[in-house]
Amino acid sequence: MKSFFILFLLIFVLASLAQLLLPWWVVLPICLGLAAWRGGSAGAAFVAGLLGVALSWWLPAAWLNGHGAGLLASRVATLLPLGGNSWLLVLLGGLLAGLVGGLAALAGAWLRVRE
């Protein structure tokens, strides 16, 4: 359990910092590398990658949703269509990015297990 939390935290912090400067898909090598380095079980790595990356999107998106981007977010949520619910959009965005992170972390964990 402890190794899960460490991996999750590492992914969250590093992904958040990296995305300030680099394209969003930098989460992929980050999750792959961190899981290969520190990962525990495959399942835990996947969840850590998913939640770590998702959180790196949820927090800033939720904050921006309340600070200037809420109106636009509800328009985008009408367009997608998510019934104009900007919180659903926050959730969905994080999950999509999280899925990429989770899969990459899974790959990393499997690499480590076999070595």
Partner 1 sequence: MLRWLKPVLALLTAVVLAWVLNTKQGDVPPVARLLSPYSGFWQNGETAADFPAQQTLRLPGLHQTVRVRFDDRRVPHIFADNDHDLYYAQGYLTARDRLWQMEFMTRVAAGRISEVVGERALEYDRFQRRMGLPFGAENSLREMLKNDTTRLVLESYAAGVNAYIGQLSPREYPFEYKMLDYAPEPWTPLKSALLLKLMAWDLSGRSDDLRLSNILSKYGPEVTRDLFPNFPFRADPVVPNGAPLDFQPLPVPPAPPVPFAAAISGLVPSREPDAELGSNNFAVAGSRTASGKPLLANDPHLQLNLPSIWYQVQLHGPGQNVYGVTIPGAPAVIIGFNADVAWGVTNVGGDVLDWYQLKFKDARQREYWHDGRWKPVRRVVERISVRGRPDRLDTVLYTHHGPVVYDQNETVFNKQTPVRHALRWTAHEAAGANEVLAFVKLNHARNYQDYDRALRTYASPAQNFIFASRSGDVAIRPNGRFPLKYAEQGKFILDGSDPRQDWQGWIPMSQTPRVLNPARGYVSSANQHSAGLGYPYYLGWDYAPWDRAHRINGQLAHMHRATADTLRVLQNDDLGLNAQLMLPWMLYSLEGTKESSDCYSYPHPNSSVAVAMRVLGQWKFHYTADAIGATIFELWYQQLTWALWEDNFGKQVTGLDMRYPSRDRTNRLLLYQSGDGANCFKGASFWVDDRRTAQQENVHNLLTASLQITMDSLTRKFGPLGPKWAWANQKSTDINHLAQLPGFGHADVWSGGSPGSVNATGARNGPSWRMVVDLATPVRAYGIFPGGQSGNPASVYYDDMLESWRTGQLDELVFLKAADENHPRLQAAWRLEK
Question: Is the CB of residue 89 less than 8 Å from the CB of residue 80?
Answer: yes
47: its two tokens? 């969840």
Smallest gap from Cβ 101 to partner 1, in A, equals 8
Q: Which is nearer to partner 1, 3 or 60 (CB)?
A: 60
Q: Is 91 in the site for partner 1 (CB under 8 A)?
A: no
Q: Measured between alpha carbons, how far is 69 from 95 in angstroms, rounded to an integer?
A: 19
Q: Is 9 in the site for partner 1 (CB under 8 A)?
A: no
> Which residues between 14 and 33 bind partner 1 (CB under 8 A)?
19-20, 23-25, 28, 32
Smallest gap from Cβ 39 to partner 1, in A, equals 11
Q: Which is nearer to partner 1, 2 or 55 (CB)?
A: 55
Closest CA to 109 of 11, 23, 32: 32
Q: Is 73 in the site for partner 1 (CB under 8 A)?
A: yes
Q: Is 13 in the site for partner 1 (CB under 8 A)?
A: no
- 7, 60, 77, 46 alpha-carbon torsion, rounded to 10°: 0
- Check whether the bond before 81 is cis (ω within 30° of 0): yes
Q: Is 88 in the site for partner 1 (CB under 8 A)?
A: no
Q: Measured between alpha carbons, how far is 63 from 41 in angstroms, rounded to an integer?
A: 33
Q: Which is nearer to partner 1, 6 or 76 (CB)?
A: 76
